[in-house]
Amino acid sequence: MQLALITVQQVFSLFLLIAAGYIAAKTGALKPQAKQAFSDLLVNLVLPAMIINTYLSGYDPNTFANLLVAFGLSLLLLGGGMLLAMGLGLAVKGGNRPLVQFAGTFPNAAYMGFPLISALFGAEGLLYASAFATVFNVLQWTAGVALLEPQRSRREMLRGILANPVIWSVVIGLVIYLGRVPVPAILAQPIAAMGSMTTPLSMVITGIIMAGSDLRQMVGNRQVWYVVAMRLLLIPFIWFGVLRLLGLQGMVVQVILLLEASPVAAVTTVMAVRCKLDEKLAAGAVVMSTLLSICTLPLWAVAIPL
């Protein structure tokens, strides 16, 4: 019951943020052009701050080995999940296939998953969750971008990766954590404050997109529901079965699997804006999967042996 309540509260908060963006756009308080400016702010400043903030917790040698396992398992589930999503996405015809594959690959773990991890596993669980977030961001801004923009040459891709503030924030965060670099509160507090804007800003962008969309058409979009089924049911079910067959268990496995079962990442709408893809499909997948995760996340949490 507690888990279900936490999930409902998080989803309700998300939809209030979406509603804020929607109302602001409908009333003219925010212009349609704002979504591009907000997207640039999110990618270049807010997301890097969130990533660095996950590594500002104190170093604990007793959990470092498990943290390495969390990195490996995160790479397996997210990397393997991308392969699964690419295979399942082959059923989608036309130009939306890459976006469907991207949306099926990346879960909204940071906002939807982290509160559940905190409630179930406490601070240690959140540390393992930070490993998932790191692999998520590296994969998203490398293989994810390559999936959405296949026309880029290898040189352009490498240049984009090296110039990407998200990738450098991962490097900085690892140096701080592994090097046990003390970060004074006068720096840590604004980093945390900036990073906390990630989900609100993403949801406001989603609301702006929805304001310019036909909601009936969004609900009736079969591709939206295909993404929802892939992200909430098919891919988590496959990994749940694989890990059970392998006999893997323990807190790290439980944390990573629950994060992998989260709804479509909110940043999917941002990527659709940046890459000039179907924004309505992206927004619909985020909104509908988030709503239905009220039911699916508690079910997955119960199914995972604690």
Rounded to 10 deg, the angle between the 235-246 and 251-260 helix axes is: 160
The more confident residue out of 229 and 291 is: 229
pLDDT, position 36: 78
Highest mean predicted confidence (pLDDT) among 76-90, 177-191, 260-274: 76-90
C-alpha distances in Å from residue 239, one per residue of 112, 191, 273: 19, 34, 30
The more confident residue out of 286 and 274 is: 286
Q: Which residues pair with 259 in a beta bridge?
A: none
**Contact residues for 25 (Cβ-Cβ < 8 A; gap 6+):** 31, 32, 34, 207, 208, 211, 212
Token look-up 């396992």 returns 69
Segment 245-267 mean pLDDT: 88
The more confident residue out of 197 and 225 is: 225
Which three-class secondary structure state does DSSP give residue 204?
A: helix
Domain residues for the domain of 279 are 2-303
What is the count of structural domains for the chain? Answer: 1
Give the model's confidence band at 29: pLDDT under 50 very low, under 70 low, under 90 confident, else very high: very high
Is pLDDT above 70 for 299?
yes
CATH number at residue 218: 1.20.1530.20
> 234 near 71, Cβ under 8 Å?
no
Per-residue pLDDT tens digits for 84-102: 999 999 998 888 899 999 9
Give the model's confidence band at 199: pLDDT under 50 very low, under 70 low, under 90 confident, else very high: confident
**pTM > 0.75: yes or no:** yes
The more confident residue out of 157 and 296 is: 296
Low-confidence winner among 20-34, 78-92, 149-163 (lowest mean pLDDT): 149-163
Per-residue pLDDT tens digits for 47-85: 888 878 878 877 777 778 888 999 999 999 999 999 999
Give the helix ranges, DSSP H, for the chain.
Answer: 2-26, 34-41, 47-54, 61-88, 97-105, 114-139, 145-148, 154-162, 165-178, 185-195, 198-211, 215-219, 222-229, 235-246, 251-260, 267-274, 279-303
